Structure 1
Amino acid sequence: MSVERRPPPLETRPLLEQSPPSYHSTDDATSPITPNSPGAGPPLLNRFSRIELCWILLGLWSGVLLGAFDGTVVATLLTPIGSEFEASNEASYIGTSYLLSVCCFTPLYGRLADILGRKGAMLLALSLFGTGTILCGMAPSMKALLVARTIAGMGGGGITVTDLIPLKQRGLYQGVANVLYGLGAALGGPIGGWANDNFGWRSAFYLQTPVLIFSFVTVALKVNIRLPDEVQNQKLSDKLRRIDFLGSITLVGAVGCLLLGFDIKSTEDLQWKDPAVVGCLIASFFLASLFVWVEKYWAAAPVMPLRLITQRTPMAVSISNLLLSMSVFSMLYSAPIYFITVRSKPSAVAGLYLLPHSLCIPAGSLFAGWFMRKTGKLYSLTVIAALMTLFASLLASCWTRYQLPFHFWLDLLPQGLGFACFITTTLIALIAGVRKEDMPIATGLSYLFRTTGQALGVSLSGAVLQTVLLQSLRARIRGPGSEDVSYTSQTNYHSAQIIPSLDHHLREAAVDSYADALRVVFICQSVVCFLGFLACLPIRESPLP
């Protein structure tokens, strides 16, 4: 009885050759072996010379560098942007709007790449990201800026295509990409702060334009990837059915309503029983329930397959990635606020404090890859990495106004190093713990929980900061006229950068209030980190080939 052989899943087929081209001695010293040459093996879908492959990767990796650069730039500029628009209480929305948009569109780009082709999907992502970034620099108000960040996030979810490189070589290429990501993240803080101090915060967005143009032109001219015939010849209606539009919308709606409920409660100083707050939380619960129903019964290609996430290792990896991403991005956006408001540092210096954290990302990722390759193990490193992240949050919760500057540099090191190791080992644990045909879905699942955690971390830490800050200011500023300088008024404390110009009494009250509020944020980070540590413990140690 013959057994029918099924073709491999579309997402697992690499679009480039399995190894760099081999060269043989001919009159043309650079001519690669053709598919019909002896020992060439089966015909390959795409063949490129080393130079062509370098150009392709250069176009893709410039997008990786730019995305990392943009993230730390915005984290450094939250305070000056909020101050200019007199809306410091809404500053966390700048990060949340971008990350929510990324969360929504990242799962869709894999399917869009099958419809538009790899070049079309990349150009669409770069166009949206570039348009949103330029509009950020032109924004006349906070609301316009939030819309622009949402547009940028629509592109930020697709500025890399991960299936160009075969799995056997992907570790090396991912290591180089991680180095560039760390470089972009390291440069974003100090360059963004320097641009703000010398030319205004808008210039930090305009500075990204040359890299955007270079990446767009390189992709347009050099990325010519042919898709497999079964994908290329598939009907458009069949391709569209594989895009989980309803699942993505309900997921983002559930997360967005949850964040909005917490945000308006804190920024507008409302009670928990206020109809607006209750309405947002009820809507979040309803949309979350609808999302589960859609993923289980409706979606042909669900963005979050329930059959996969209910398994032990995928569930542990997903929850721990969600929680640790919340903690790390809370730190990424809260630490610059601490340095500007409590330590009275300019934006450029505040950005420099993030430098060790950013440089540890590629170092931690490369170390984790080397460790797993050397030992074939990942569980012990995963647990240690989670503890390092927790340790950094505990150190931050002990910061004082009079602490020596080098402490801040050293205290952020364990988190950057630990988180980089953690996301690397848990991704490999997830891939090693599922069937081969589920590997692409598992990878997307990891990124989905990570981006959701990033959005939650930025928004919820901002909500905690505003709530505690308001209470602390009211406790410290009493007497006649105290309401005039309350954080809820439309005057002084909507602009954090006005603190140095206040009278001594008000300045001390403001600085102490920010210190108290940020300490609570860092303590909450520690609690979330501890929960993330507990969540990673059930991860199984799978054999690593």
Structure 2
Amino acid sequence: MSGNQEEQPLLQTSTSRNTDNSHSLHPAVLRDASSGGAGFIAGELAAEEESLHLPEHDNYGSVGLPGSKKDDNNKSSDSDYALPRAKLLTVVSSLFMAAYLAALDTTVVTTLLTVIASDLNAVANISWIATAYLLSCSAFQPLFGKLSDIFGRKILLILCCAFFAIGCTICITDSLVWLVIGRFVTGWGGSGLTTLGTITMSDLIPLRDRGLYQGMANIFFGLGAASGGILGGLVADYLGWKYVFILQVPLAVVVGVVIWWNLVLPEGSPGLGAHGSEFKDKLKRVDFQGSFFLVSALMVILTAASLGGREIAYDSKTFIGLVVLSIILLAGFVYTEAYVSNEPIIPIELLAERTILSSSLTNWFYTMGVFTYLYYVPIYYTSVMGFTATQNGQRLIPNFFGVSIGSVGAGLYMKRTGRYYNLTILVGIISIFGVWRIFNMTPYITIFDQFTILLPSGLGYSCILTVTLLSLIAAVPSKYQACTTSIQYTFRATGSTLGVSIASAIFQNVLKSQLTTKIHLLISDDWSYAEKIINKALENTNYTNHAPKLVQGAIKESYALACKGAFGFSLATIVLGYACSLFMKEHQLHTSMNRD
């Protein structure tokens, strides 16, 4: 499969529309630090009053095809950016801080859940303290792109900083209800900061350099997610858990002030929003019906995936009802975007374009696979190899360096060469090799392998995150770049959630089957006693070390096989993602902002 093959025609659709929980066996799916992985999340830039209409020729920006534009220079200069260098660095630094804060809040309460719940006498509802932020953060992500097309990037970024600060302030309470509300409001702000961060950087930086900046943004996001639990624990130990939220308020305010003074987009930039319209006119352009269906569908899907198998049984009427409701809401969203809305939140017709569809599916499957093994490798270490939470954490540290090298390395490669297709093929092979190693992991792997087993797949995934984002942006003119990335990140948000949920179902079924068979063979004369052991083994990964010696080996073997089932699912999805990536087309990475 060549990256330079003929591409299927782009859309011509304007006529189609008139006017730390190592003891839990169930993944906390919404503990996804970005709802799809590290990095900023983009929305839609198409702020046109007319219907969606892409370029006349079918191979916009295709490398090596007749009619494709060529840049005379292979490097960008300071004059190719939308802001002077000093202001650019100031704005980008504030966006990096915004990404750090948004990621920090996804994990900052993970080490505090029991402390907060005990202090508020709300242990029974402990999960909602973390889930509220992540649920709103994931569900509202796709909306900010279109809203910023209408109202402008700057004002929405400032409003998101305000939402973030207000949400953290609400969290300073002695009421569980208000704490959950505060976390939900903070999630609105956090989702906007990540979404608008990517869109704004695309307004400021030419494509040739865009990957490098995205790679650095991924590092800051990853640092936020990685340090949240540690910083939350330290602050709570010395100052109290409420200061975890208090200290974030001034940081959000500083980010908002910096953006207010320094983000001055040039005339003609899509980031300025709609011109010459009053607020009422702008408000009329918002796709409220499509937004309602999309947000509602995502919230139902994420809730079902997060609670399924834990609070809600997979075969229960409640879970089935949530699944049916999500399908109905998604159908309503698709119908609204295709036939009702004049300015859809996500123009679903874009999926007819080869690069957009293949890139989105690549991201979807890769994210499924990566989040699956990131959750189940620690479970394997705990249940099969007997490691403590600290030992697990130590073995995950090298993965961060792999992700950092992959993110920045992909950006540097694209900046130097202006290409990405061959890189996609290479890192895909590396990713498959990495997950194959995980699939074949045994309790006897060396210490070196324990610390490096996640490196290849982590490096490959971080490269894929950067490459697929750039391939989408490059596939369409700049005024459509955010609506394509919005599609991709919607795939990513659902991919991380659905992937781990499916893997959890596989894991639980294999584990229960293996435990039932093996334990009853060993304890054949006392059915009730065997059932007690099975239930304890299902509930707690550490029970392996406390179970009767007669059954310890059987429990470890059962966990090993269950994890292997999850790893097999991870490997299959990575392979599917790699297959989808072969259909991406290589487009030109321009060295200036003017690429239409």
Q: TM-score, normalised by structure 2?
A: 0.69
Alpha-carbon contact 2:290-2:336 (below 8 Å) kept: yes
Distance in 2 (alpha carbons) for counterparts of 1:134 and 1:329: 31
Match of 1:26 in 2: none
- Match runs of 1:134-283 below 5 Å: 150-160=184-194, 161=197, 162-163=199-200, 166-169=203-206, 172=209, 175-176=212-213, 178-179=215-216, 181-182=218-219, 185-186=222-223, 188-189=225-226, 192=229, 210=247, 213-220=250-257, 223-224=260-261, 225=263, 231=274, 233-258=276-301, 266-267=309-310, 270=313, 272=315, 274-283=316-325
Distance 1:344 1:264, change over 3 A: same
DSSP 3-state at the match of 1:66:
helix
Q: What SS does structure 2 have at the residue aligned with 1:402? A: coil
Change over 3 Å in CA distance of 1:267–1:209 after alignment to 2: same
CA pair 341-131 structure 1, distance change in 2 beyond 3 A: farther
CA offset at residue 140 of structure 1? 9.0
Q: Secondary structure in 2 aligned to 1:231?
A: coil
2:156 is equivalent to residue 121 of structure 1: yes
- Correspondent of 2:347 among 292, 300, 305: 305
**Structure 2 residue 452 is matched with structure 1 residue 410:** yes
After TM superposition, the structure 1 stretch with the greater mean CA deviation from structure 2, 307-316 or 186-195, is 186-195
1:286 and 2:328 correspond? yes
Residues 134 and 205 in structure 1, CA contact (< 8 A), matched pair in contact too: no
Alpha-carbon distance in 2 for matches of 1:197, 1:476? 43
Contact kept, 8 Å, 2:537 with 2:555, in 1: the verdict is no
Q: Distance in 1 between matches of 2:273 and 2:487?
A: 25
- Identity of counterpart residues, as a percentage? 29
User: In the alignment, which of 86, 101, 108 is matched to residue 136 of structure 2?
Assistant: 101
Contact preservation (8 Å) 1:258, 1:281 = yes
**106-115 vs 523-532, which moves further:** 106-115
The change in CA–CA distance for 1:385 and 1:467 in structure 2 (over 3 A counts) is: same
CA distance in 1, matches of 2:203, 2:320: 49
Shift of 1:525: 0.8
In the TM superposition, residue 183 of structure 1 has moved relative to its aligned partner by 5.0
**Higher normalized contact order (CA 8 Å, seq sep 6+, divided by chain length):** 2
Q: Given the superposition, is the C-alpha separation of residues 106 and 269 from structure 1 closer, same or farther in structure 2, using an over 3 Å criterion?
A: closer
Q: Which moved more, 1:238-247 or 1:202-211?
A: 202-211
Please say if 1:425 is aligned against 2:459: no
1:332 shift after superposition = 2.8
CA distance in 2, matches of 1:414, 1:471: 32
Q: Structure 2 CA distance, aligned partners of 1:506 and 1:137?
A: 47
1:322 aligns with 2:322: no
Root mean square deviation of aligned Cα? 4.5
Deviates more, 1:431-440 or 1:189-198: 189-198
Shift in Å, 1:48: 6.9
Q: Which amino acid aligns with 1:220?
A: V
**Any idea what SS the aligned residue of 1:540 has?**
coil
Q: Aligned in 2, Cα 1:121/1:501: closer, same or farther, shift over 3 Å? A: farther
Note if 1:475 corresponds to 2:517.
yes
Alignment partners' CA distance in 1, 2:355 and 2:454: 29
Q: Which residue pairs with 2:585 in the alignment?
A: 540
Please name the residue that 1:519 is paired with: 564
- Equivalent residue, structure 1, for 2:493: 451
The alpha carbon displacement at 1:116 in A equals 6.6
Kindly state the Cα deviation for residue 333 of structure 1 after the two structures are TM-superposed: 3.0
CA deviations on 1:70-117 (whole Å, 9 max, x unpaired) are 5566789999999999999x97x9887655533321222234446776
Aligned ranges 1:56-71 → 2 under 5 Å: 56-70=91-105
Compute the displacement of 1:205 (Å). 9.3
| Partner AA of 2:583 in structure 1 | P
CA distance 1:119–1:313, change in 2 (3 Å): closer
CA deviations over 1:403-457 (Å, ceiling 9, x no partner): 2232132221111211122122222222222244322322322222222222323
Letter in 1 for 2:585: R
Distance 1:204 1:436, change over 3 A: same
Aligned residue pairs: how many?
502
Work out whether residues 133 and 187 of structure 2, in 8 Å CA contact, stay in contact via their aligned partners in 1.
Answer: yes
The change in CA–CA distance for 1:140 and 1:473 in structure 2 (over 3 A counts) is: farther
Which whole-Å CA distance do the structure 2 matches of 1:446 and 1:437 have between them?
16
Question: Shift of residue 156 of structure 1?
Answer: 2.4
> Could you tell me how far apart the structure 1 residues matched to 2:202 and 2:355 are?
26
Give the 3 Å change call, closer, same or farther, for CA 475–349 of structure 1 in structure 2: same
Q: What is the distance in 2 between the residues matched to 1:435 and 1:183?
A: 28
Name structure 2 gaps, 5 residues minimum.
1-44, 49-75, 521-526, 591-596
Answer yes or no: is the 8 Å Cα contact 1:189–1:355 preserved in 2. no
Greater CA drift, 175-184 or 129-138: 129-138
- Report how far residue 290 of structure 1 moved: 1.6
Describe the SS at the equivalent of 1:251: helix
Distance in 1 separating the partners of 2:148 and 2:290: 18
By how many angstroms is 1:256 displaced? 4.9
Say which is worse superposed, 403-412 or 168-177, in terms of deviation: 168-177
Out of 406-415 and 69-78, give the one that drifted further: 69-78
